[in-house]
């Protein structure tokens, strides 16, 4: 079954244009790893390498007693060790994770040049159709670039180039591969990509004038910084013959295509290089140590020079900053004194106003007391009158009941009298007239008594109205008294707040004076020290005297720590106004 994934593996020595080549393949449709390594010094536009596979390869090399800049041969016996299978399984899983969901991708890491047998196993475990591209660059240009980036000796860089290209070539024989030239990619990217597609039997998913224009713009930004001629390499008898022979063969392959007749020459060079590396390793190791010491000394000298410049710069900045802080302290102190004077004047005015209000309140309380006493007296009088009226009303009701009973009796007697009169009208005319007069008089008395009852009822209603009016007046007086008490409570709270603010401002003024005194006690040589040193020492002094704890201030207010501003300066310029705590 044909593999369902195609993977292009760029096997080139460091500084051989592998990053440019990988990005070019990405432009025309090859997927990049899921976790890309960020750009860094020496590759400002990106490495385009896997941020997961590169450290994995470093770990494998370290397990083999090697590293990325080691030109010695890796022991072939390692690939026959039992641990090899476990590492292959890990690499297989890592490769699947980095290109999950991709059917056409490109992977680049110069370390793979020395680990081709290992990675071929991981490639097979993922059912990937592998195609290898081996970019070739003049080894002198590679050595120049390594010297500039890493301070690596040129002769060592050339041996490192030889190790990478020999191992990559030997272990990819028989696989689908092509040798390319870094110069061809830069000079004519369209022809370069067309030649790759034809040689590797590929079709680029993204190939249009717009894509090629973007690619050309990208390559323009990656111009070659190191250029050497063929004569610099091949006409120089001091360059190792192995290097010249291998470079000549691989450069020819990049131009004309691979030739199997050159395999023996490459094998002889590789074998001779492996044998010589055993004899030269100790000598090269000693040279690397010496070079490392020289580089370290140069770095120390440069660091010391930079530190002196920085100290001078910081001293000047510290003098300016100290002057600014002193001015800020003076301004804050003057403003605080002005505000304290204003608060004292305002407090005195408030005390005078409160005294007036207390006098008025005492007067209103006396008036309210008198009014309340008068109301209570009137109320008692009205209650007595009401009680008397109730008793009198009860007596009148009793008298009315008696009169009504008497009236009913008289009416009955009148009826009887009229009946007797009708029977004896003629015989007792005079007696009848007298009886009528007596009856009419009784009726008149009863009418007068009824009018008296109506008057009493009217008077009782008027007394009820007067009592209700007295209760309403008492209620209004109580409400006015409560309003006066609330006004006094409000004014008392305002006075307390003003007094607290004045005390707080006096405490801040005293603190500012004490901080200013501590600043004036610094010796003359203080301003010559680094600004960070001055700040730490002054913060420690303030903390020791209990004036200001810079560390606690930063922990309490993370926004101040994030701003990068001096804690003391932030508190004086902002923290006091915002009501922040000093410690």
Give the Cα separation of 414 and 408 in Å (integer). 10
Give the Cα separation of 48 and 22 in Å (integer). 7
pLDDT at 173 over 70: yes
Question: What is the average pLDDT value for the chain, to the nearest integer?
Answer: 80
**Tokens read off for 429:** 């005319």
Q: Which of 80-84, 154-158, 170-174, 390-394 has the lowest mean pLDDT?
A: 390-394
Please tell me which of 208-217, 286-295, 463-472 the model is most confident about, judged by mean pLDDT: 208-217
Please tell me which of 124-138, 325-339, 481-495, 510-524 the model is most confident about, judged by mean pLDDT: 124-138
pLDDT (0 to 100) of residue 95: 95
CATH 3.40.50.300 in the chain, residue ranges: 5-258
Q: What percent of the chain has pLDDT over 70?
A: 74
Q: Which of 151-160, 266-275, 483-492, 537-546 has the lowest mean pLDDT?
A: 483-492
What is the arithmetic mean of pLDDT over 104-124? 95
Q: Which CATH architecture has domain 5-258?
A: 3-Layer(aba) Sandwich (3.40)
pLDDT (0 to 100) of residue 94: 96
pLDDT (0 to 100) of residue 436: 46
What is the arithmetic mean of pLDDT over 475-480? 68
pLDDT at 447 over 90: no
Give the Cα separation of 309 and 462 in Å (integer). 105
pLDDT band at 76 (very low <50, low <70, confident <90, very high): confident
Contacts of 216 (CB under 8 A, 6+ apart): 189
Name the CATH code of domain 327-520 (choices 3.40.50.10490, 3.10.129.10, 3.30.470.20, 1.10.287.2610).
1.10.287.2610
pLDDT band at 229 (very low <50, low <70, confident <90, very high): confident
Give the Cα separation of 50 and 47 in Å (integer). 9
**Tokens read off for 228:** 């050497």
What is the arithmetic mean of pLDDT over 193-198? 94
pLDDT (0 to 100) of residue 282: 57
pLDDT (0 to 100) of residue 194: 93
What is the arithmetic mean of pLDDT over 159-185? 94
pLDDT (0 to 100) of residue 11: 96
CATH 1.10.287.2610 in the chain, residue ranges: 327-520
pLDDT (0 to 100) of residue 221: 46
pLDDT (0 to 100) of residue 42: 63
pLDDT at 318 over 70: no
What is the arithmetic mean of pLDDT over 303-332? 66
| Greater model confidence, 486 or 434 | 486
pLDDT band at 490 (very low <50, low <70, confident <90, very high): confident
C-beta neighbour count of 318 within 10 angstroms: 21
What is the arithmetic mean of pLDDT over 360-372? 71
pTM exceeding the 0.85 threshold for the entire prediction: no
Measuring CA to CA, how many Å separate 322 from each of 102, 431, 468, 569? 61, 137, 79, 10
pLDDT digits (tens, 9 = 90+) for 52-70: 999 999 999 999 889 999 8
C-beta neighbour count of 138 within 10 angstroms: 22
């Amino acid at each position: 079954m044909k593999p369902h994934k195609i993977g292009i593996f760029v096997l080139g020595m460091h500084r051989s244009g592998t990053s440019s080549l990988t990005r070019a393949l990405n432009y025309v449709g090859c997927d990049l790893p899921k976790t890309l390594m960020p750009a860094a010094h020496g590759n400002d536009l990106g490495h385009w390498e896997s941020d997961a596979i590169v450290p994995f390869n470093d770990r494998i090399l370290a397990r083999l007693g090697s590293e990325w800049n080691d030109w010695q041969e890796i022991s072939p016996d390692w690939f026959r060790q039992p641990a090899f299978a476990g590492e292959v399984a890990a690499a297989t899983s890592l490769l699947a994770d980095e290109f999950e969901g991709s059917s056409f991708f490109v992977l680049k890491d110069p370390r793979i040049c020395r680990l081709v047998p290992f990675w071929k196993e991981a490639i097979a475990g993922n059912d990937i159709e592998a195609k290898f591209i081996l970019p070739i660059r003049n080894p002198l240009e590679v050595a120049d670039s390594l010297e500039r980036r890493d301070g690596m000796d040129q002769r060592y860089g050339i041996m490192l180039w030889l190790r990478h290209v020999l191992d990559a070539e030997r272990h990819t024989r028989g696989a689908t591969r092509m040798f390319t030239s870094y110069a061809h990619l830069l000079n004519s990217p369209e022809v370069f990509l067309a030649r790759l597609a034809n040689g590797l039997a590929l079709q680029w998913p993204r190939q249009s004038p717009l894509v090629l224009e973007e690619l050309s713009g990208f390559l323009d930004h990656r111009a070659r910084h190191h250029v050497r001629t063929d004569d610099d390499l091949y006409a120089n008898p001091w360059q190792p013959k192995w290097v010249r022979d291998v470079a000549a063969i691989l450069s020819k392959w990049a131009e004309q295509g691979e030739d199997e007749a050159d395999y023996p020459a490459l094998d002889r060079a590789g074998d001779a290089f492996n044998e010589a590396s055993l004899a030269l390793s100790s000598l090269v190791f000693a040279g690397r140590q010496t070079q490392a010491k020289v580089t370290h000394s140069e770095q120390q000298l440069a660091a010391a020079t930079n530190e002196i410049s920085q100290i001078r710069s910081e001293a000047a900045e510290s003098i300016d900053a100290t002057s600014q802080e002193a001015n800020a302290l003076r301004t804050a102190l003057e403003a605080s004194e002005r505000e304290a004077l204003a608060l004292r004047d305002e407090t005195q005015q408030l005390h005078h106003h409160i005294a007036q209000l207390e006098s008025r309140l005492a007067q209103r309380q006396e008036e309210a007391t008198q009014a309340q006493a008068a109301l209570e007296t009137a109320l008692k009088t009205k209650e007595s009158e009401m009680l008397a009226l109730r008793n009198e009303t009860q007596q009148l009701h009793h008298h009315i009941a008696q009169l009504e009973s008497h009236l009913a009796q008289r009416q009955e007697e009148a009826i009887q009298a009229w009946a007797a009169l009708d029977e004896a009208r003629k015989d007792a005319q005079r007696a009848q007239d007298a009886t009528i007069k007596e009856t009419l008089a009784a009726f008149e008395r009863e009418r007068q008594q009824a009018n008296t009852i109506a008057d009493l009822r009217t008077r009782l209603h008027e007394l009820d109205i007067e009592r209700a009016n007295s209760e309403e007046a008492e209620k209004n007086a109580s409400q006015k008294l409560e309003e006066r008490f609330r006004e006094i409570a409000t004014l008392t709270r305002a006075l307390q707040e003003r007094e607290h603010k004045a005390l707080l401002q006096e405490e801040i003024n005293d603190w500012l004076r004490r901080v200013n005194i501590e600043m004036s006690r610094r010796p003359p040589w203080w301003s010559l020290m680094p600004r960070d040193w001055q700040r730490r020492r002054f913060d420690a002094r303030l903390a020791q005297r209990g004036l200001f704890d810079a560390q606690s201030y930063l922990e309490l207010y993370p926004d101040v720590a994030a701003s990068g501003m001096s804690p003391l300066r932030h508190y004086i310029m902002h923290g006091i106004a915002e009501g922040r705590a000093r410690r």
